[in-house]
Structure 1
């Protein structure tokens, strides 16, 4: 049995070496952060959405530190990002909290904290009151999960405040679904009350489109069995294409005053209808800006967020689709259009007084933002549906564009092909799983 002792001894030694390397790297990171002139930023979530924060602040010489659950997340490969830890906010909740406390205590000044992913938003909502001693983030962060991640609470709040939104039902049983199937207009969609929980099971779509009462009952049964104890919602589909979706990126200070506002429009999503933006454009729209500010004040929000509306062809009204209490994927467009929403949020959180936003002094360039590989996939689907011609696709790409990654970030540029290949393969696998589920 001596060889077993030898193996376990080697494992112990190698484990000790790895542990010491991690300690050394963290100490080296702390020295680097302490020597920096500007207050550091901690970003929870290193997916593509994080790139807007990493680049906007990193290019200004602000130290950016990242945390995520997976080593392959693209944000880690930016030259502007320093990795702090690989921890899942659910599986490693206590360990993540301890790491953030230890990191916060080790620094001589508070870091600004941006939670990018919904799982990290839920984590921050839970621990906000205990982390506030070491980090700077909006005062209403404790309410983010209750008010915004929980769609039932969000739409109830909209109803109480007189905010227009799509017809929505929250069934508690199959009997209630049968009743709803006689009232809801078709097509409709089934989606979760908590999107980030749904995403763990159905990674390729945010909602399932339903065309008949029979299909609604059948799909509800299947999802209930597949995702036990998951609250579901049934919502009407607002007609028209993805180009009827309007966007507002905004930062409101602790008193609810807007300090930076950006408006834009979706051109395409991937997947179409119920996906995330892959081609969008920025343009000034005072009505959308003022409507967003009014809604956020009504629901008591302060901080950085992305608001989405869809224009209903039936009555011409803008219906609110969601408020994301965080930076969203298309935020890279804001800086490109000359509206530094993220940097304004950073400066306000570190205590630098910022001028209030005024529509009369609002300056915003017209520019497009694109995620090329996702837009190609999306465009092929639109073309197959006869909703887009090749000529129109080429035409939609004209104009000044902001890429999802910057050419000044060479390490990210080199990693990008591997990331796209990996995501494409995993996406195809997930689509196959989803197709099997839908057709079963």
Structure 2
């Protein structure tokens, strides 16, 4: 990829995760000076050799808004990018207070639509896109009717808009669960009843068999200017969640589905990077739309290694308002999120009874051999570790070991242990 011909700068808000770290590496290798703000001293992106300047945000010393404006003015940084949905919402609310720096983020209306999974699925159904059968209730007296309508189990409980649900859950000391499998009608009644005090219920959806299939698309003025596809091979937890091993697909894979995804983003009036996520059943060829992620996604490292540079596209299209330099993509690459992959392996080998989806079956020997031999696979890359930028990996590993040590002390120490 050719770097810009003149020095360019960008500020990244929130580089504590592998997504933020990937953006640092991708933009810096494109010749862009990357400045970053982290909320944790051990945030992995803060320790990358590709970072021009990294700052830990101590909220006791300075507000986030003041820190952004200070960095922008001191270093003449024209553009701001971020990773998480809460940060995008915050920037949308405070954009007018930014001084001399422009956020490269989605517009409020399309973003609000993709945050609301019910709204996204409604638009998709109008386009003829297959979605899971789902129900949404708002009152406790609707629980019995919902249970009577469910054709079979398991079903999945998932919040239609997690960001909107979070304050209510916290107010009642309830944890926001990304999803929950429910195997029986009685269990469904019990799970929904937990949320009655909040006046807010998760969406209930029929289970869709298969694997996760992601189609990443950059939309500019209604046209797809960059596309990338990947398939999830492993997830943590094993029944579904964060991708721990994924593989890039050929660009020509699933052409009808890709056209469908582009049509959906056009209907949502989407501009910028997004991932359209499906459940794909290889046995039948069926797909079901799960959601649209209107931000940089968890498997961003795979796209980066495979040559699909969505952060660079965002900088050029939304910042410079020019088309980015072309890049070549590579199919068949794999990318592993190592520590969650170890959690997954431990669950399968040591605690299989904790796997919520009782229909899943794993070969312990095959899983162990696959993990060990995978290290020797020349196609394998990593979410955090990189030979040319190893420090983030060691920082992350140290934090994981410290957390493990604290858990072991808490579990095995007697009351008098100090």
TM-score, structure 1 normalization: 0.76
Kindly indicate whether the alpha-carbon contact (under 8 Å) linking 2:158 and 2:178 is maintained by their aligned counterparts in 1: yes
How far apart are residue 189 of structure 1 and its match? 1.6
Residue 132 of structure 2 is aligned to residue 149 of structure 1? no
Q: Which has the higher helix share?
A: 1
Give distance in 1, aligned partners of 2:24 and 2:407: 25
Residue 45 of structure 2 is aligned to residue 75 of structure 1? yes
Residue 306 of structure 2 is aligned to residue 327 of structure 1? no
Give distance in 1, aligned partners of 2:24 and 2:408: 29
Partner of 1:436: none
Residue 397 of structure 2 is aligned to residue 417 of structure 1? yes
Kindly indicate whether the alpha-carbon contact (under 8 Å) linking 1:67 and 1:87 is maintained by their aligned counterparts in 2: no
Partner of 2:16: 46
Residue 74 of structure 2 is aligned to residue 95 of structure 1? no
SS of the residue corresponding to residue 32 of structure 2 reads coil
Give distance in 1, aligned partners of 2:127 and 2:408: 42
The structure 1 segments of at least 4 consecutive aligned residues displaced by more than 4 Å after TM superposition are 128-133, 196-205, 312-315, 422-429
How far apart are residue 399 of structure 1 and its match? 4.6
How far apart are residue 286 of structure 1 and its match? 4.4
Kindly indicate whether the alpha-carbon contact (under 8 Å) linking 1:251 and 1:260 is maintained by their aligned counterparts in 2: yes
Give distance in 2, aligned partners of 1:293 and 1:333: 21
SS of the residue corresponding to residue 113 of structure 2 reads helix
Give distance in 2, aligned partners of 1:166 and 1:426: 41
1:302-359 residue CA offsets vs partner (Å, 9 max, x unmatched): 11122210025796431111111111121111122222232222222332632799xx
Question: Which residue among 140, 143, 157 is the counterpart of 1:174?
Answer: 140
Kindly indicate whether the alpha-carbon contact (under 8 Å) linking 1:44 and 1:114 is maintained by their aligned counterparts in 2: no
Kindly indicate whether the alpha-carbon contact (under 8 Å) linking 1:407 and 1:413 is maintained by their aligned counterparts in 2: no
1:96-245 alignment, distance < 5 Å = 96-106=64-74, 108=76, 110-111=78-79, 113-128=80-95, 131=98, 134-138=101-105, 140-143=106-109, 145-184=111-150, 185-196=152-163, 198=166, 205-225=177-197, 228=198, 230-240=200-210, 244-245=211-212
Partner of 1:437: none
Partner of 2:412: none
How far apart are residue 427 of structure 1 and its match? 8.8
SS of the residue corresponding to residue 154 of structure 1 reads helix
Partner of 2:232: 266
Give distance in 2, aligned partners of 1:230 and 1:152: 14
The unaligned stretches of length 5 or more in structure 1 are 1-35, 430-440
Identify if the C-alpha distance between structure 1 residues 279 and 191 changes in structure 2 by more than 3 Å, giving closer, same or farther. Answer: same
Partner of 2:3: none
1:314-353 alignment, distance < 5 Å = 316-351=285-320, 353=322
Give distance in 1, aligned partners of 2:114 and 2:391: 35
Identify if the C-alpha distance between structure 1 residues 257 and 107 changes in structure 2 by more than 3 Å, giving closer, same or farther. Answer: farther
SS of the residue corresponding to residue 90 of structure 2 reads helix
SS of the residue corresponding to residue 229 of structure 2 reads strand
Partner of 1:7: none
Residue 29 of structure 2 is aligned to residue 62 of structure 1? no
Question: Which residue among 352, 357, 363 is the counterpart of 1:388?
Answer: 363
Identify if the C-alpha distance between structure 1 residues 87 and 122 changes in structure 2 by more than 3 Å, giving closer, same or farther. Answer: farther
Identify if the C-alpha distance between structure 1 residues 250 and 239 changes in structure 2 by more than 3 Å, giving closer, same or farther. Answer: same
Give distance in 1, aligned partners of 2:280 and 2:81: 30
Partner of 1:26: none
How far apart are residue 229 of structure 1 and its match? 5.0
SS of the residue corresponding to residue 149 of structure 2 reads coil
RMSD: 3.5
Partner of 2:388: 408
**How many residues align structurally?**
382
1:151-174 residue CA offsets vs partner (Å, 9 max, x unmatched): 233233333444321112121011
